[in-house]
Amino acid sequence: QVGDAVFASTGYDMGGNAEYCCMPANGIVATKPANLTFQEAAAVPFGARTALFLLRDQGRIEAGQHILINGASGSVGTYAVQLACHFGAQVTAVCSTRHVEVVRSLGADHVIDYTREDFTQGSETYDLIFDAVGKTTVPRCRPILKPAGTFVSAVMPFSAVKGLWYRLTEGRRVLGGSIPRDPELLLFLRDLCEAGAVRPVIERRYPLDEIVEAHRYVDQGHKQGNVVITVAH
């Protein structure tokens, strides 16, 4: 309704780095979580929708599963940890040294510092491996993925043929996929935010006129959670 505070995703249309953005009424739009500021709400749609779709809809996450999340400290990863905990999974998270405490604070049961330990060489095996950053592969993770396990990547696309090949030859599900233009994901996340089950992690905020510096920082590949662009009205 007119006057509602909202948050939204422009999807693959982009165009969000602006003072104003027009969205269709039937677009990926929802009323803003009442307990979040606009800046906090802006950090939800991309990372959280990606994590929710790939874990819940593609990975078919279930309570009691043992899940490994690689890249647990980024935008997608920080939401993946929280969502996996919400769905009742036992979560092992992989990140670098400086992110360990933040990732642990999000609910991870175990945290592996990849600068000190190769997570693919451990004795644990997992029902689901979620690669939030596209920096590992199915062959590398094969020793730690259970025989009927699922590998989901947020970055590397998998063709239906390739996924079927893994399914037929190994019994494993290998999945990726584009996030659908479905407002249900955002509505679900709004409710989780308001319930306190999910929160955005924001490391830095940059004003719009410093957006080049923001991109330079993000492109280094080591940010914690989200970087938000602020706009004065």
The answer as to whether 105 is a domain residue is yes
First to last CA, the chain: 21
Position 156 scores a pLDDT of 64
Cβ atoms of residues 131 and 115 within 8 Å? no
Q: Are 86 and 163 in a shared domain?
A: yes
Cβ atoms of residues 206 and 213 within 8 Å? yes
Cβ atoms of residues 137 and 117 within 8 Å? no
**Which of 175, 204, 222 finishes a domain?**
175
The answer as to whether 1 is a domain residue is no
Q: How many domains does the chain have?
A: 2
pTM, whole model, 2 decimals?
0.92
Position 178 scores a pLDDT of 82
Position 225 scores a pLDDT of 96
Position 169 scores a pLDDT of 64
139 in helix, strand or coil? helix
Q: Is the dihedral of CA 5, 211, 15, 183 positive or negative?
A: negative
| Dihedral angle, C-alpha 46, 95, 151, 28, nearest 10 ° | -10
What are the residue ranges in the chain where pLDDT is below 70?
A: 156-171, 233
Tell me the pLDDT tens digit for each residue of 141-183. Answer: 999 999 999 999 998 665 555 666 666 566 678 888 788 888 9
Tell me the pLDDT tens digit for each residue of 11-29. Answer: 777 777 888 888 888 889 9
Q: Are 91 and 205 in a shared domain?
A: no
Q: Are 137 and 40 in a shared domain?
A: no
CATH code for the domain in which residue 94 is found: 3.40.50.720
Q: Are 76 and 103 in a shared domain?
A: yes
The answer as to whether 18 is a domain residue is yes
